Each structure stands twice: as structure tokens, then as C-alpha cells.
Amino acid sequence: MLIGTAKHSYRADEALLTTSPQRLWMAILLIALALAPLALDNYWLYLACLVSINVASATGLNILTGFTGLVSIGQAAFMAVGAYTVAVLEARTGLPFLVNLVVGGAVAACVGLVVGLPSLRVKGLYLAIATIAASFILHFVFVNWQSVTNGNSGINVTPASLFGVELTDYVHLYYVFVPITALMVLGAANLFRTRIGRAFIAIRDRDISAEVLGISLLRYKLLSFAVSSFYAGVAGGMWAYFFRVVTPESFPFIYSIFFLAAIIVGGMGTILGGVVGAVFMTLVPELLRFAVEWLTTIFPNAVTALSPIRTIVFGALIIGFLIAEPKGLAEIIQRIRRFFHLWPFRK
């Protein structure tokens, strides 16, 4: 039982992890992440890398939609910008891959600034439509800017290399992607301890009041788009090194819906929500494969018959979790935490 979290300084009050159980669990999580490849086979390592990429991008979208209140359905297009940038840089310049990732993020951020311009006049569904339009324009550019993107055939990406080691095995990619994503999530968490992050939240809660308080909507809305797109760009760059082929069809529109669903299911406006939402959306369809596989021991050829049901179950799980907890999975975790605050004395 934790009877109190008395803080004796502003520094302690602003800390990311305020209680010792939090610090303990975070330490356990970090150790588990570091040691996970020792226990995981290639399949699970692949999924871990994919989760890592999706967490980075979902966290970016959470900054924009969850924390700033600007709805975007163009996250996949920003990822594509990052992926193409990385693919072109890798093929033509031979720059180190970490530099490529940062440049990929920067180029996506610049595109995000432009796409974010309508947010100064419209919001809500109107802004969502504007971001959809932007993603279709970008798709057109990817298909038709042949000299750079190689059109529909796309670009093959040579493996990234770090300290002379080619990053082709999932275990190598895991040890690169997971720290990058962890840094990005840490950065996002810290962002909301600064004036910039608080300005984002103020805009979300009431933009007119925020402006009255001296927050420049022009500056901060565009900054939110830029930061979110940077996250998407870096995630897209990791995606390019992961799958090693980038085509206009690599980032379909439905992928943007995936990220929006991830932050809604996880919990908008919380860092934890973006993370658990991306984990849930990526891993649950895979876990349901095992349910189908288990059923094949009872019903032969169950994979064919039950695959459509797997999709329905996945949808039902999303709806079920949202009915049980509209604030998302992050709130469920918070509720569990609150339960243990008083345990074992709570009725």
C-alpha cells in the first residue's frame, strides 16, 4: 500500500516517475526489453520491431490529436514521406542510417507544416478531410515523381549498417529500433512538462482561451503538426529499413486509420495510451492467430473457415474494451494502479 506521495520540491513534483513503485516497474520494463531477444524467436522479434515502429508513429499522432486536439488522418502519408526520404538518401548519398532517419523525420516535419496550414482555419472533421486530401496528393506525388520515387515499382532499400554490422537480423533491428522508440516516447513525455506541451494542451482544451492567454495558435498548431510528422517520418524511416522496399502502396490510407484507432483504443491524450494502443492493435490480431491455430486441433482446416471470424473478434474486442473503458486501455492500467494504491485495505 502506498499511503502518500508527499513531494518536497518542484523538481520532485515535475518528475516523470513520482513514486517508487513506478520507478521499480519502469526498471523492470527496461530490463525486460533489454533481455527480451534472449527469449524471443524470430517471429516475436519481428513483431517487437513492428510494435516499436507503430508505437513511435502512434505517439506522434497522439501529440497532434490527443494532446493538441487536431484530428489527422494523414499519419501514414507522413510516414511515407520519411520512408521515401530514407530510401532515396540510402540509395544516393550513403549517409549513416541514423542521419537518414533524422533527415527523414525533418522532411516529414516540413511537409507536416504545410499540411497543417488548414488547421489555422478549420478543425474537427473539416481538418480531418484536409489531411485526407493531403495524403492523396502525396500518394499522387509518390506515383508520378518517377525520377525520385521510381513510380509504382518503388525503391529497394539496402540494409542499414551500424559500426560495420549490417542490420538484417531482427535481433539487430530490435536493439536499434526499441531504443530509438524509447527515446521518442521519453521525448514526448518530457514535451508536456514544457511550455510548448502545455500550450498544445491549452489549445486542445479551448483554443480561443489559449490565444487570450498569449499562446500563438499559428506557431503552436504548426509546431504540433511538425513534431507529429517528425515522429511519423522517423517511424517511416525505420519502416523502410525494416521492410526494405518502399512503394506508393506501402502506406495505404487504412494505415492512417490504424494509428487513429490505436490512440483511441489506447487512450488519447496520454503517453501511455499511444504506446498500449499501438501494442494492442499490432499484437492482438497476431495473438488471435494462435486461437485459430488451437482450434485447428479440434476442427481441421479451421484457418480458412475461422479467419474471417478472427477479424470479427478483433473488431469486437476493440468495441468491448471501449465500452468497458471509454478512456482507453491506459485508463484501465491507471485503475489497476489505483487499486493497488489501497490494496489490501480496499473493500
Partner 1 sequence: MMKFSRRLVLAVSTALTLSLGASLPALSADEIVIAGSLPLTGMFGFAGVGVEAGIQDYVKMINEEGGIAGRQLRFVYEDTAYKVDASVAAFNKLNSQEEIHFYYGDSTGFAKTINPELNRMGSILMAGTSYASELNDPATYPFQFMAGPDYTEMTGILLEYIAKEKPGAKIVLVNSDTEFGRDPIAGTKARAQELGLEIVEEIITPPTAVDVSTEVLKLRRARPDYAIFHGYLLAPIPEFMSQAKQLGLDTKFMGTFWSMDPGSWAKVGDVANGYMGVMPYRYADDEADDAPMLDRIRQMRPDYRSTPYMQGFLTAMLFSEAAKRTLEAGKELNGENLKAALNTIKDFDTGGIIGKPITISGNSIPVGRIYTYNAATQKMDPASDWISLQE
Residue (219 or 289) nearer to partner 1, CB? 289
**Interaction mask 170-189, partner 1, x per CB under 8 A:** x-------------------
- Shortest Å distance, C-beta 40 to partner 1: 10
Is 324 one of the binding residues for partner 1 (CB under 8 A)? yes
d(CA 305, CA 255): 26
- Shortest Å distance, C-beta 184 to partner 1: 20
Is 293 one of the binding residues for partner 1 (CB under 8 A)? yes
> Of the candidates 43, 56, 48, 44, which has an alpha carbon nearest to the alpha carbon of residue 259?
56
Q: How many CB atoms lie within 10 A of CB 18?
A: 12
Please choose, out of 24-32, 69-77, 226-234, 304-312, the segment that lies near partner 1 by the rule CB under 8 A: 304-312
Please choose, out of 19-27, 70-78, 119-127, 280-288, the segment that lies near partner 1 by the rule CB under 8 A: 280-288
**Chain residues 205-264 in contact with partner 1, contact rule CB under 8 A:** 243-245, 247-250
Is 294 one of the binding residues for partner 1 (CB under 8 A)? yes
Is 297 one of the binding residues for partner 1 (CB under 8 A)? yes
User: CB-based contacts of 11: which residues, under 8 Å, 6+ apart?
Assistant: none
- Shortest Å distance, C-beta 228 to partner 1: 22
**Interaction mask 137-166, partner 1, x per CB under 8 A:** ------x-------xxxx-x--x-------
- Shortest Å distance, C-beta 180 to partner 1: 19
User: CB-based contacts of 41: which residues, under 8 Å, 6+ apart?
Assistant: none
- Residue 249 DSSP one-character state: G
- Shortest Å distance, C-beta 276 to partner 1: 12
> Of the candidates 78, 58, 47, 69, which has an alpha carbon nearest to the alpha carbon of residue 276?
58
The answer to whether 227 and 62 are in contact (CB under 8 A) is no
Number of residues that bind partner 1 (CB under 8 A): 48
End-to-end CA distance of the chain: 14
> Of the candidates 56, 234, 222, 89, which has an alpha carbon nearest to the alpha carbon of residue 155?
89
d(CA 111, CA 345): 54
Which grid coordinates are listed for 244? Answer: 526494405
d(CA 162, CA 180): 14
The answer to whether 233 and 108 are in contact (CB under 8 A) is yes
> Of the candidates 261, 292, 294, which has an alpha carbon nearest to the alpha carbon of residue 279?
261
d(CA 250, CA 262): 19
- Shortest Å distance, C-beta 117 to partner 1: 27
**Chain residues 42-61 in contact with partner 1, contact rule CB under 8 A:** 42-44, 46-47, 50
Interface residue with partner 1, options 179, 307, 342, 346 (CB under 8 A):
307
Interface residue with partner 1, options 291, 326, 338, 343 (CB under 8 A):
291
Residue (36 or 303) nearer to partner 1, CB? 303
Is 311 one of the binding residues for partner 1 (CB under 8 A)? yes
- Shortest Å distance, C-beta 167 to partner 1: 12
Residue (154 or 269) nearer to partner 1, CB? 154
User: CB-based contacts of 38: which residues, under 8 Å, 6+ apart?
Assistant: none
d(CA 7, CA 17): 12
Interface residue with partner 1, options 23, 289, 338, 346 (CB under 8 A):
289
- Residue 158 DSSP one-character state: P
Residues binding partner 1 (CB under 8 A): 41-44, 46-47, 50, 143, 151-154, 156, 159, 168, 170, 243-245, 247-250, 284-294, 297, 301, 303-304, 307-308, 310-311, 317, 320-321, 324-325, 332
